[in-house]
Every structure is written in C-alpha cells, then in structure tokens.
C-alpha cells in the first residue's frame, strides 16, 4: 500500500475541514476503510464526509446494524465490521452488493474482514495523539 499523506488535526473542527477536502477526491464506487482505536474518530469522519457529500440526514455508528444506508447522490453505505466474525458473516450482510456498486462505501473496522478482499480504494488511519488531537494518514491502494 502506498502512503499518500499524514496530517495532524488539533480538534474536531480541523477534522471537519479535512473531511470536506478529502470528500472532493472520492467518487461513487470508492470503498474507504477507516482504522483506529475506539474513540479515534472513525464515525466522526464518516459524519463529516457524508455532510460534505451532500447528505443532510443523521449519520450514526452502524455498530449494531452493521450497515447504515444514506439516500444520497452518490448513494452512501456506512459499515462497521467490529462484530463480524468470519467470511460467512460478510457474505450474509451482502458485502459484495456494497463494495462493487456505484455507491461510496465507508467501512469502520475494515481489518475485521481479515484477508477477505474489500475492494478498498483509500484507507484512513486515525491515531489518537491526545484528547483533541488526531494524526490522520491516508493510504491509496
């Protein structure tokens, strides 16, 4: 995986601005993985990305439903794979219908899919530096 760029975001407002910039380079059909510990800001980034992509509804963590669908142009799927145990669980949620669609697919905890191919275009890795500061690194695959 090629490293694209890193930056430090000193507070959530800077994260919002970063998400609005990143949203300009993503297109329908792209799958974006978000990695980082609990509370790193995966859902927060999804929230601002959806807003930047034109979605005005509620963006919440899909940790129980596993997938949230947002009526938007482009359509957005928001997944959280934290509770996925194996490939069968991924097949059961119909993963291929999300990752090989014209929609943008945002995937929190993508690493839970292990070696299952998720057609990932960008990985956004979030590191907690302190209470309000995050280091973001984007990898292009």
Contact residues for ligand ADP (CB under 6 A)?
9, 11-12, 15, 36, 38-44, 108, 132, 134
Strand duo 31-35 + 104-108: pairing: parallel
Whether residue 79 contacts residue 66, with contact meaning beta carbons closer than 8 Å, is answered with yes
- Closer CB to ligand ADP, 30 or 108, in the complex: 108
Distance of CA 65 to the CA centre of its chain: 16
Whether residue 99 contacts residue 93, with contact meaning beta carbons closer than 8 Å, is answered with no
- Please state the closest distance from residue 46 (CB atom) to ligand ADP, in A: 8
The item of ligand ADP, Mg ion, none sharing an interface with residue 78, based on CB under 5 to 8 Å by kind, is none
The item of Mg ion, ligand ADP, none sharing an interface with residue 58, based on CB under 5 to 8 Å by kind, is none
Residue identified by tokens 């997938």 is: 67
HSE-CB of 120 using CA atoms within 13 angstroms: 25
The item of ligand ADP, Mg ion, none sharing an interface with residue 119, based on CB under 5 to 8 Å by kind, is none
- Closer CB to ligand ADP, 41 or 117, in the complex: 41
Binding flag, residue 78, Mg ion (CB under 5 A): no
Binding flag, residue 119, Mg ion (CB under 5 A): no
Strands (E) in 30-75, as ranges, are: 31-35, 67-70
Contact residues toward Mg ion (CB under 5 A) are 42-43, 61, 108
């Amino acid at each position: 995986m090629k490293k694209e760029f890193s930056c430090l975001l000193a507070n959530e407002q800077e994260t919002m601005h970063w998400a609005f910039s990143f949203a300009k380079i993503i297109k329908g059909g792209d799958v974006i993985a978000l990695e980082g510990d609990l509370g790193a800001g995966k859902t927060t980034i999804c929230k601002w990305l959806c807003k930047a992509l034109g979605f005005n509804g509620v963006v919440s963590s899909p940790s129980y439903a596993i997938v949230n669908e947002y009526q938007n142009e482009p359509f957005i799927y928001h997944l959280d794979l934290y509770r996925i145990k194996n490939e069968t669980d991924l097949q059961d949620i119909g993963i291929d219908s999300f990752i090989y669609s014209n929609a943008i697919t945002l995937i929190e905890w993508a690493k839970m899919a292990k070696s299952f191919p998720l057609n990932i275009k960008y990985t956004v890795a979030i590191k907690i530096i302190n209470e309000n500061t995050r280091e973001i690194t984007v990898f292009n695959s």
